[in-house]
Amino acid sequence: MADSLNLTIDGQAREVEQGTTGLDLFKDQKTTVVMRVNGELWDLHREVPADAVVESVDISSPDGLNVLRHSTAHVMAQAVQELYPEAKLGIGPYITDGFYFDFDVDEPFTPEDLKAIEKRMLRIVNQTQSFRRETVTSEQARQALKDEPYKLILLSKADEAATSGEGMSVEIGEGEITLYDNIDRKTGDVIWRDLCRGPHLPNTKIISNAFALTRSAAAYWLGNENNKQLQRIYGTAWPTKQELKEYQERLAEAERRDHRRLGTELDLFSFPDELGSGLPVFHVKGGIIKREMEDYVRDRHVAAGFDYVGTPHISRAGLFHTSGHLPYYADTMFPPLTVDAEHDEDGNVTKPGQEYRLKAMNCPMHNLIYKSRGRSYRDLPLRLFEFGHVYRYEKSGVIHGLTRVRGFAQDDSHSYVTKEQAPEEVRHLIEFMLSLLRDFGMDDYYLELSTRDEDSDKFIGSDEQWEEATRILEEVAISTGVDLVPDPGGAAFYGPKISVQARDAIGRTWQMGTVQYDFNQPARFELEYQAADGTRQEPVMIHAAKFGSIERFMGVLTEHYAGAFPAWLAPVQVRAIPVADVFNDYLAEVVDRLKAEGIRAELDDSHDRFPKKIRNASKEKIPFTLIAGGEDQEANAVSFRYRDGSQDNQVPVDEAIERIVKHVRERINTDHA
């Protein structure tokens, strides 16, 4: 073949004509939307080079979905500027399950505006406009985008090699500058263009009608609160209408399960403005759940060989310099408090004050407990555990109910072991974490290994230390038989970590407990133990938080169970409802017997009518509703009504009590006794 190229295409060697594009290669693969050329994503319009390894990328793959969503963001931005010509473009990246684009406009977008934008987007989609890539110089880009002030800022940052900022990577980066034009299919004219790294779909028609705009919100330019506030539109896009519908149904279900809403409806917790952002309070019913969680996990720790300790909420700042958290962790710690300064009568400082910090982690204080006396190899492993309350300065934009707060309690432990004991201790901790998740009814999970970012200078310790610690965590995680996925660059500054990623009842993934290997703090605190040969050795320190935090875990459990907590956790386990007031005394005796067994039972002897009492119990998601009328009393029985609406009638009282007590004491996470 004259002027031919040798390629490897989806693993197969092929010879093609020079000038062949991805569209030519994959013309029979209708769901291929981009290609990977020598490991990089390329538009299908581009010509493939000689000797390239080319792979097709399906629209349903993670990369394919990202390209679909980013292309849909471009269509949305084009629609906005057609409807609002004065709108200036910010940044529009793809995100999990969707995309957004920022705009500088005079007025915030309304729901009616979003409907109009969607309608205009559909018109653009149906025009089958092509996305065309153009490599340009910085000056050419400036000329093409001279009316887009935010794009000019990005180009300036590119010239300065300063490309950090929210969403910037989709627009500029190292290497060439590219524009993407939307081309009219009939005339070949450029209809719209944007600064973008790409790649994009071959044309807009592939987007079809499987997209939706979900909401609008204010957002600071580049995510910096010192910058101007722009208006952001969020959207989602999927390969088919059916997938879009399924996603919208998942969103609706997630809305029904939102722990913030359920926390209010079930009177569990709240977030008073008077306290400040990210600082929850637990009400009586929420306090019961929290206490049950803490009591159970505390008992499990003691049974697993942990010693319970307690530490204060505040410390001299120097402690966190010793541990290495300052300055590495300073951005997420609250500002220092200066105390104990002395002044003369004129207000002059005669004795400088000392800086204190709210603690953001418990480990430095546990190190002080370890160091409080001499340790021998016979003491190891030494396992210290507490429900330590910590405070972290989360930015206001990321605070979210109980799952992202500023004050929370960690079920935090630190194991001090010899190097030889480290692998077994890691295994012990991982198995402990997984067993706790199963105890609470979450048995769909995988492990994630977070390692050092090799290009960052924000990590301490030698290469050898990192290699050894990472190897130990990886080998132990693999040996558990649980799926393990990599998380490059996600390690703490002092060592790699294993985290448990748990899926809830509707398939969402939550990071739960973590195990971290720390070779840093023992050296910084000069921790030692006397080895069997009489020498002084440095222990290995292993951090573990089984829930992550009580608050976060409760938020996740609330959504996992949609507020219908297992009976052993439920604030009210039994509600007794008489068919008429005449049966109040009969059911009161049943309630008293249940209380004597430690069951949280109550009698509804209010003046509400019977149907309303049943509705109230259902609304409050009470596991067991006991009903009694004339026939029940005559038979010395009660009737069960369960949360799913089913009933079990005329169960003898002794049997009913036995069922409930057994169900609660065995901590069964499913309904029915």
The catalytic residue positions are 363, 392, 410, 412, 414, 497, 543
**Whole-number Å distance between alpha carbons of 222 and 210:** 29
Q: Which residue type sits at 312?
A: P
SS3 assignment, position 438: helix
Q: Measure Cα distances from 584 to 449, 593, 610, 656 in Å.
A: 58, 14, 12, 18
Q: Which of 46, 96, 88, 31 has its CA nearest to residue 70?
A: 96
Q: Tell me whether strands 382-391 and 342-343 are parallel, antiparallel or unpaired.
A: unpaired
Task: Check residue 336 and report its DSSP letter.
Answer: P
Q: How far apart are CA 40 and CA 23, in angstroms?
A: 16
Query: Residue 306 — φ and ψ, nearest 5°?
Result: -95, 145
- Assigned token pair, 404: 């992202």
- How many angstroms separate the CA atoms of 359 and 11, rounded? 54
* Nearest C-alpha neighbor of 100 from the set 154, 165, 167: 167
The β-bridge relationship of strands 574-578 and 601-603 is parallel
Helix/strand/coil for 434 = helix
H or E element at residue 522: helix 521-524
| β-strand partners of 101 | 233
Task: Give CA–CA dist 490/454, Å, rounded.
Answer: 11
- Antiparallel, parallel or unpaired: β 337-339 and 269-270: unpaired
The count of other CB atoms within 10 Å of the CB of residue 531 is 13
On whether 543 is known to bind a ligand per the annotation, the reply is: yes
Residue 197 amino acid letter: R
Angle at 139 between CA 137 and CA 142, to 5 degrees: 110
Q: Is 402 exposed, middle or buried (0-12, 13-18, 19+ CB in 10 A)?
A: buried
Q: Record the tokens describing residue 482, joined without a space.
A: 């649980």
Report d(CA 40, CA 222) in Å as an integer.
26
Least Cα distance to 408 among 253, 305, 556, 530 occurs for 556
- How many residues are listed for the chain in this entry? 673
Q: Are 448 and 501 in contact (CB under 8 A)?
A: yes
Q: What's phi and psi for 362, nearest 5 deg?
A: -95, -20
Pairing of strands 32-37, 53-58: antiparallel
Task: Please compute Rg for the chain using Cα positions.
Answer: 31
With vertex at residue 270, the alpha carbon angle to CA 269 and CA 274, rounded to the nearest 5 degrees, is: 145
Output the known binding site for Zn(2+): 363, 414, 543
Output the known binding site: 363, 414, 543
